[in-house]
A and B are shown apart, each in its own frame.
Chain A
C-alpha cells in the first residue's frame, strides 16, 4: 500500500480529467436544459417510426423562425421524441402538438400522447442557477465547520472539502464531456455526491483519527496507508452496493431518471476514489508541511 508515496500520480489522473472537462466546458459550454436556460420542452409519444428530421419539418412549419435552434431528440429505444425550443406561448405549444397530432394521428387528453411539457422563462432560470450554486456553497461551509469541530482539526475539514470539490468537478466534467443536460436533477445529483463524498471520506478519516493515538512519531505516511488499507474493503463494498442500486435506475429508468443516474454512478465511484486517493494524501500533504515546519523550529 503505497498510496501516499504515489500521490502525484493520483493528482495528475484527477487533474487531467477535470481539465479536459472544464476545457470542453469553456469551448462549447454546458448543455443547459430549459430549466437553466429558459425555454419550452415537449415530450411526445409518436407511436410509430420517425426521424428527427420529420419532426423538425413539422415544428419549423408551425413556428417558422422561432424554431431556430430547436433541439429535437428521439428517445433511445422508443417511439418518443423530446422537442426543446425557445420559450413558447400556450397557444404556440398547442399548435405544435396539434400539427404533430394531425401528422401522426396522436391523441390528446387523459392518457394522451403529450407525455410531458414544461415552460420556463429566462428570469426564473437565472434564479435557479443562483440558488443551486448558493446551496452547494452553504452546504460545503456548514459541513466544513462540522468536520473541523468533530475532528478538532481544520486540516481534516479542508482535506475532506478538497475531496468533495474534486468529486463535484469530476461530475461537472462528466456533464461537460457527455453533454448531459444540466437541469434541476443536476442540482440533486451534485448535492447527493456532496453528501456521499463526505460520508465516504469521513470513514477513512475516522480511522486515521483512531490510529493517530498509537502511531509512531512523525510517521504520517505509514498512518495514512494503514488507515486506508483497513477501510478498503468497506469502501469497495459500500460503493458496489450503492452503484448497484443506481445502476438499476439507469437500466430501467425513464429518460429523466437515466440522465440523473449516470452522473450519479460516476459521482459515487469518484467519491470512493477521492476518499482513498485524494482526501488522505491531501491531509498527508498538510501534515508533512506541518512536521517540517516543526522540525525547523
Chain B
C-alpha cells in the first residue's frame, strides 16, 4: 500500500511541476499555453476602442457591411494592422486597436470621413500663371485642380456617394493589348448617369480624383462611359493600384459614422495595471496558502498543492482558448481563487466534524467529501449561473470578468473535489494520519463526550 501511495504522490507532484512549468514558461518560441501567450485587453496593453453608430435609421445589411469594410480599409491605410472591426447589433460598428501609440491620433485617423470627389477640369479655359514652377507631376496636377476650382473652370462631377466599389486589377485595358495594373470603378445608378454626363463634357480632358482635396489620381477621359464602369489606367504598380482602390472605397461611405463611445489607454497605465494586479494576486495567493497550511495542517498542505494546480490550469485554459485578459478579468481570477479555497474549507470543516463523531481518519475523509459535495455543487452552480448571465448580458470589460470567473469556478470544483481528495488520501496512507494534524483536539473531544 505504501509503495502505491508513494507512487500516486510522486505522480501528482510531477503533474503539479509540469502544469506549473507549462503555465509559467509555455511551449516553444511563442510560449504556447504559458501566461505570456494570454492575449491582453486594451486596459492592460494600451490601445483604443471605439463604437460607431450609423448616422441613418435602419441601415441595410449591405450598407453596414460596406461601412465595416471602409473602416477596415482606413485602418489598413493608417497601418493599424492588428485592429479588429466588427458589427455589433443592427447599426453599430465596434473597432478595437491594440497597443496603439497615440490613442487620440488613432481616434482621429479612423473618425475622419475622407471626402472623395471627382473634379472635371476644363483644360481649354484653365490659365496657369507662367511664373509658377513645378518640381513633380503631383505638384502640377494639384495646382491644376486648385486653380480650376478657383477660376471656376472645374467642377465636382461626382462624389464618394456615387461610387459603388473600386477594385484593382491587372490585364490589358485598351486596344494595345499590353497588360497593365489599373483600377476599376463601379458606379451606382446615380453615379452612372453623372459619369456619363461628365465624360461627355470633359472628353479629352482630365477628371481629377481627390480625397480630402488631395489629388490621388488624374486620369484623362478617353471616351464617353455609359455603362457605369470606368477604368483608371496610368503608371500603376500592383501596390499603388490597390492603394488607390482602397482610398476610393474609403471615401465611399454610405452614411456618417457617429462615435458614440470611445476609450483609450496609454501603454504606460496598461503595463502599470498589469504589474500591480499580478503582484496583488501573487501576494494574496501566498497569504492564502500560508493561512491554509497554518490553520488546517495536513489537509491544508493538500489544499495548497491543489490550489497551485488550480492556478496553473486556469492560466493554461485562458492561454489555450485565447481568452483576452482584461482588468476586471484579473479581478475575476483573484475572486475565483477565494471561491476555490471555499470548497476546501467546507470539506475540511466536515472532515473535522466526522473525527469528533468518533470516526477513523480514513472514514472521516470519505464522509467529509461526501457530505460537503452538495453544498459545493449548489454553491458553485448558482455562482456559475451569475457568471453565465453576466457573459450574455454584459459588454466588454464585464464579459471579461464573467469569462475568468466562469473558468475559475469550473476548474476549482475539479481541483477541490478530485485533486485535493487524491492528495489527502495518499498523504494519510503514507503515515500522515495523526488526528491532531487534521485539527482534532483531544481535550475538546473529551469535553464533548462528557457533555453527552
A-to-B contact residues, CB < 8 Å: 43, 45, 90, 93-94, 97, 108-121, 123-124, 128, 131, 134-135, 138-139, 142-143, 146-147, 150, 184-185, 187-188, 191-192, 194-196, 198-200, 202-203, 206-207, 209-210, 230-231, 233-234, 237-238, 240-242, 244-249, 251-254, 256-257, 260-261, 264, 268
Q: Of the candidates A111, A135, A233, A249, which one forms a contact with B349 in the assembled complex, judged by CB atoms under 8 Å apart? A: A233
Q: Provide the residues of chain A in CB contact with B268, threshold 8 Å.
A: 45, 111-113, 115
Q: Would you list the 5 A-B pairs with minimal beta carbon distance, nearest first?
A: A242-B338, A206-B375, A115-B269, A118-B263, A195-B383
Chain A residue numbers with a CB within 8 Å of B104 are: 90, 93-94, 97, 108, 114, 117
Find out whether the CB atom of A260 lies under 8 angstroms from the CB atom of B328: yes
- A interface footprint on B327-368 (CB within 8 Å = 1, 0 otherwise): 110011011011101100110010001000000000000000
Which residues of A lie under 8 Å from residue B284 when comparing CB positions?
Answer: 244-249
A237 & B345 in contact (Cβ 8 Å cutoff): yes
Q: How far is the CA of A251 from the CA of B287 in the complex (A)?
A: 14
- Checking A94, A143, A184, A251 against B280 with a beta-carbon cut-off of 8 angstroms, the contacting residue is A251
Q: What are 9 pairs between A and B in contact, CB < 8 Å?
A: A90-B104, A108-B102, A110-B267, A112-B102, A118-B261, A120-B261, A240-B291, A241-B342, A241-B345
Closest to B50 in A: A119
Q: Mostly helix, strand, loop or mixed at chain B's interface?
A: helix
Q: Bound state CA distance, A185 and B51, in angstroms?
A: 19
Specify the chain A residue showing the minimal Cβ separation from B381.
Answer: A146
Tell whether A195 pairs with B387 under 8 Å between CB atoms, given A124-B261, A128-B395, A146-B381.
Answer: yes
Q: Which residues of A contact B285 (CB under 8 A)?
A: 245
Nearest A residue (CB) for B263: A118
Smallest Cβ distance from B295 to chain A, in angstroms? 7
User: Is A147 a contact of B382 with CB atoms below 8 Å?
Assistant: yes
A254 to B280, CA, bound (A): 11
Residue B374 is within 8 A (CB to CB) of chain A in the complex? yes
Shortest Cβ gap from B145 to chain A (Å) = 27
Task: Assess A139 versus B264: contact at CB under 8 Å? Given A97-B104, A147-B378, A242-B338.
Answer: no
Residues of B289-303 contacting chain A, CB below 8 A: 291-292, 295
Nearest CB on B from A97, distance (A): 7
| Complex Cα–Cα for A112 and B381 (A) | 45
Q: Contact at B386–A143, with CB atoms within 8 Å?
A: yes
Chain A residues near B375: list those with CB within 8 A.
Answer: 202-203, 206-207
Partner of B379, one of A184, A202, A268: A202
Distance to closest chain A CB from B87 (angstroms):
16
Given A115-B268, A119-B262, 6 more A-B residue pairs with CB atoms under 8 Å apart are A117-B263, A123-B260, A241-B288, A244-B287, A245-B335, A256-B273
Q: B254-277 interface mask toward A, CB cutoff 8 Å, 1 = contact, 0 = none?
A: 000011111111111100110011
Q: Is A238 touching B341 in the complex (CB atoms < 8 A)?
A: yes
Known interface pairs A110-B102, A199-B379, A240-B291; A206-B389 also in contact (CB < 8 Å): no
Residues of A within 8 A of B287 (CB): 244, 248
Is B379's CB under 8 angstroms from A43's CB? no
Contact across chains for B273 and A257 when beta carbons are under 8 A apart:
yes
CB of B394 closer than 8 Å to a CB of A: yes
State whether the Cβ of B279 lies closer than 8 Å to any Cβ in chain A.
yes
Q: Which segment, of B27-35, B166-174, B397-405, B415-423, faces chain A?
A: B397-405
How close is A202's CB to chain B, nearest CB, in angstroms? Answer: 4
Flag if A210 contacts B371 (CB, 8 Å).
yes
From A131, A195, A206, A254, contact of B394 by CB (8 A): A131
Report Cα–Cα, A131/B397, bound state, in Å.
14
A143 lies within 8 A of B382 (CB): yes
A146–B386 Cα distance when bound, in Å, is 12
Write out the residue numbers on chain B whose beta carbons fall within 8 Å of the beta carbon of A114.
103-104, 264, 266
Is the pair A203, B379 in contact by a Cβ cutoff of 8 Å? yes
What are the residues of chain B within 8 A of A113 when measuring CB–CB?
Answer: 266, 268
Report the separation of the CA atoms of residues A112 and B382 in the bound assembly, to the nearest whole angstrom: 44
Verify if B108 is at the interface (C-beta below 8 Å from A). Answer: yes
B405 touching A248 by the CB < 8 A rule? no
Contact A241 B341 (CB under 8 A): yes
Please tell me the size bucket of the interface on B. 35 or more
* A119-B261, A188-B328, A257-B331 known; A139-B390 Cβ under 8 A: yes
Q: Is the CB of B382 within 8 A of A121?
A: no
B380 at the interface (CB under 8 A from A): yes
From the candidates B107, B332, B338, B378, name the one contacting A202 in the complex (CB within 8 A): B378
In whole angstroms, how far apart are the Cα atoms of A257 and B43 in the complex? Answer: 11
Identify A253's interface contact among B280, B345, B371, CB under 8 A: B280
Q: A119-B261, A184-B398, A198-B383 are in contact. Are A238 and B338 (CB under 8 A)?
A: yes
Contact (Cβ within 8 A) B397 A184? yes
In angstroms, Cα B263 to Cα A231, docked, is 45
B103 to chain A minimum Cβ distance, whole angstroms, is 6
User: Which of B272, B288, B385 neighbours the largest number of chain A CB atoms within 10 Å of its CB?
Assistant: B385
Do B342 and A109 touch (CB < 8 A)?
A: no
**Chain A contacts of B397 at CB under 8 A?**
184-185, 188
Instruction: Please determine whether A245 and B264 come into contact, CB atoms closer than 8 angstroms.
Output: no
**Counting CB contacts under 8 A, is B321 at the interface?**
no
A90 to B261, CA, bound (A): 11
Contacting residues, chain B, for A260 (C-beta < 8 A): 328, 331
Q: A206-B375, A207-B375 are in contact. Are A245 and B338 (CB under 8 A)?
A: yes
Residue among A184, A200, A209 facing the most chain B CB atoms (10 A cut-off): A184
| A136 to B, closest residue via Cβ | B389
Residues of A within 8 A of B177 (CB): none
For A268, the chain B residues whose CB sits under 8 A away are 338
Is B396 in contact with A184, judged by CB distance below 8 angstroms?
Answer: yes
Residues of B within 8 A of A117 (CB): 103-104, 262-264
Expressed in whole angstroms, the Cα–Cα distance for A260 and B277 within the complex equals 13
For A201, give the chain B residue with the smallest CB separation. B379
Q: Smallest CB–CB gap between B354 and chain A, Å?
A: 12
Of all chain B residues, the one with the shortest Cβ separation from A183 is B397
* Pair A191/B263 contact, Cβ less than 8 Å: no
Q: B111 at interface (Cβ–Cβ under 8 A)?
A: yes
Contact A110 B262 (CB under 8 A): no
Which chain A residue shows the least CB distance to B347? A234
Residue of B nearest to A98 (CB): B104
Q: Give the distance in Å from the alpha carbon of A242 to the alpha carbon of B332 in the complex.
A: 12
Shortest distance between the CB of B259 and any CB in chain A (Å): 7
Task: Indicate whether B134 reaches chain A with its CB closer than 8 angstroms.
Answer: no
Q: 0/1 per residue, B182-196, Cβ < 8 Å to A?
A: 000000000000000
Candidate in A192, A233, A247 with the most chain B CB atoms within 10 angstroms: A192
